[in-house]
Structure 1
Amino acid sequence: MSRKKLLEVNSLKQYFYVNRNTTVKAVDNITFHIYEGETFGLVGESGSGKSTTGRAIIRLYDPTSGVISFDGKNISAKKLNHHDKSYVNKNMQMIFQDPMACLNPRMTVMDIIAEGLDIHGLCKNKEERTSKVYELLRTVGLNEQHANRYPHEFSGGQRQRIGIARALAVEPKFIIADEPISALDVSIQAQVVNLLRKLQKEKGLTYLFIAHDLSMVKYISDRIGVMHQGKLLELADADDLYEFPLHPYTKSLLSAIPLPDPDYEKSRVRIKYDTSIHDYSKESPEWVEIRPNHFIYASKSELEKYKEEINAKQLNL
């Protein structure tokens, strides 16, 4: 039985025009899809375009070109009709990187979490609104006493839990988690990721998990896409990407992951990615499925090298 594609992104471009002579191609012609109920990880260094991709999908930006389909609806039109806009706003939510910057310091936690409930008219009266907020606080590991406090009274981990509760309030199908743990202490990061996994199982959520921490992305993701300079360079199942990386940039990212093994760390060799060897001005690269469910962005000559590498690895297995 084929799985349902909840989100489809086709040839998405997000350009920013700085002046007459300068255009920043933050997202440059990328294509991928996300199945219902899965976690799709999007990784890359700062400036790779991964956060811009998330913001274009949720329509914080108007895409320059390309088609974004969500639950069978084309949501990439410059002006969405009222019904489609309301549908996207309710069923697609975002958890932001900085939990302090995205919470209104003048609003209580009660009003922050209930904002979506109020906008979409999901509560009949004040009692139902209060009850729903209390339930959401408990869901994310907080309690009723926290409802009348303000964001500055909480730790970073607690503020991120409030952000998660706010995202869950309207019962969305899809959540974009934009580097949700990078601003948190390492000791708190695992707690937040485990909470996201627990909520996914309980509520059947679908995630786009954006991060630069590859080890955490592997832990939470079913499939992973690797971005660099606005391009999607490689996409595969999480285990396949880690065990069978093909693109030099993916190999470079993986080589940078430290392991808690002193002997290994002494001999670990960082692979540097040389952008100059990937000059696509002469050969037009394509997005190709090189192995089952393993895609790569490459020119014809590079594809031949990757196929040779695959054959050599398979002979050694």
Structure 2
Amino acid sequence: MTVSKRNKLLEVKHLKQYFNIGRSDEVKAVDDISFYINQGETFGLVGESGCGKSTTGRSIIRLYNPTSGEINFDGENVASINGRDRMNQFRRDVQMIYQDPYASLNPRMKVRDIIAEGIDIHKLAKNVGERNKRVDELLKLVGLDPSHGTRYPHEFSGGQRQRIGIARALAVEPKFIICDEPISALDVSIQAQVVNLLQELQEKQQLTYLFIAHDLSMVKYISDRIGVMYYGKLVEVGSAEEIYKYGLHPYTESLLSAIPLPDPEYERHRVRTTYKPEKTTATDLSLREISEDHYVYCSESAVPKYQEKLQEMKKQ
């Protein structure tokens, strides 16, 4: 896979994350994937539940030790980070926003203390006054009132709780944030507000995102590039516009066919595609470039077929 000439903040090379279940069974949650994320961009990772998206994010942040492969962050192999000071810096640089805004906040802590937890751990405030001032700024930044700092999580709606989670992630001034399905537990009416907030913060704070989700239309809205994941494999990678308009892999096509449109006539005749993996004897399957920066997981012999398919799609 050709690497962009822009400044790469994260590069994942042949990552494998296997789990043993029982004595002999092995689950290949992430099975030999490679991708990169440029500084300042959003890379969307999309696929159905159980495909390995969240496991990928947790491997990057070192919640799991990879079975094999390499994860480089800001030019350094994450596996080689040792020592308290270096690990603390990595924990500051890489933060995560979790899927469930209800379970990810300690119900016994006030919002002010939840947000300030990272500030306290990394000693980013000289005194209580500076700490509280920083928390108030963060609450304002995510669209909440500073007075909310004295309340407990149960006093807030799901969307407000996720804003608190975002403020907590921002408290240590990270470079990179893994957004692990941050909107899937929220009402549809609130989802767009949270995504818009993430985009605003990205511009203000010069952030880089890995945005994990199963909704391809929402991923397309926020992402610069998209990776489509199926059963531990990346089956297609390309720009958000290219994947959304010209998704080539049959699994990508099935995801695109499931996206509803606000058009009753279209919906009446919409045909949803069900992906059925084809049996193949090919042993050279890998991500191969079909057009510039557009990759599909296939054999060498299948490349001309996908190139022809892409040309036909662009003619329509």
Same fold (TM over 0.5): yes
1:146 paired residue number: 148
Contact kept in structure 1, 2:288 and 2:300, CA below 8 Å? no
> What residue is the counterpart of 2:17 in the other structure?
14
Poorly superposed stretches of 4+, deviation over 4 Å: none
Q: Tell me if 1:70 matches 2:40.
A: no
How far apart in 2 are the matches of 1:138 and 1:222? 27
Question: Is 1:27 equivalent to 2:30 in the alignment?
Answer: yes
Q: Secondary structure at the match of 1:147?
A: helix
Match of 2:248 in 1: 246
Residue aligning to 1:93: 95
Kindly provide the amino acid, as one letter, of the partner of residue 60 in structure 1: L
Gaps of 5+ in 1: none
Give deviations 1:207-258, integer Å, cap 9, x for gaps: 0000011111111000000000000000000001111111000000000000
TM-superposed CA distance for 1:60, in Å, is 1.0
C-alpha contact 2:282 2:299 (8 A) present in aligned 1: no
Amino acid at match of 1:292: E
Tell whether 2:114 aligns with 1:112. Answer: yes
Q: Say if 1:10 and 1:32, in contact at 8 Å, map to a contact too.
A: yes
Please, what is the CA RMSD of the aligned residues?
A: 1.4
Name the SS of the counterpart of 1:170 in structure 2.
coil
Residues 1:129 and 2:131 aligned together: yes
| Distance apart, 1:303 and its partner CA | 2.2
SS at match of 2:30: strand
Take 2:100 and 2:159, find their aligned partners in 1: how far apart are those partners? 10
**How far apart, in 1, do the equivalents of 2:132 and 2:286 lie?**
53
What's the TM-score, normalizing by structure 1? 0.96
Cα pair distance change 1:311/1:194, threshold 3 Å: closer
Deviations 1:109-168 (A, max 9, x none): 011000000111100000000000011001001111111111111110000000000000
1:260 equivalenced with 2:262 (yes/no) = yes
CA shift at 1:281, angstroms? 4.8
Corresponding residue of 2:197: 195
Post-superposition Cα deviations, 1:71-125, rounded to whole Å, max 9, x if no partner, equal 1111034x73333311210010000000110101111101100000011110000
Distance 2:175 2:145 in 1: 25
Partner of 1:272: 274
CA contact (8 A) 1:91 1:174 kept: yes
| 1:280, distance to aligned residue in structure 2 (A) | 4.5
SS at structure 2 position matched to 1:63: coil
Are 1:205 and 2:207 matched, yes or no? Answer: yes
Letter paired with 2:283: E
Paired residue for 2:44?
A: 41
Residues in 1 aligned to 2:224 and 2:87: alpha-carbon distance in whole angstroms: 29
Tell me how far apart the structure 2 counterparts of residues 192 and 242 of structure 1 sit (CA, whole Å).
Answer: 22
Q: Residue type of the partner of 2:20?
A: Y
- Displacement after TM superposition at 1:308 (Å): 2.4
Which amino acid in the other structure matches residue 139 of structure 1?
Answer: L
What letter matches 2:99 in structure 1?
A: Q
Could you tell which deviates more after superposition, 302-311 or 166-175? 302-311
The Cα of 1:312 is off from its aligned counterpart by 3.4
Q: Which position in structure 2 is the counterpart of 1:291? A: 291
TM, length-normalised to structure 2: 0.96
Alignment check: 8 A CA contact 1:283 1:300 kept: no
Contact 2:291-2:307 within 8 A present in 1 as well? no
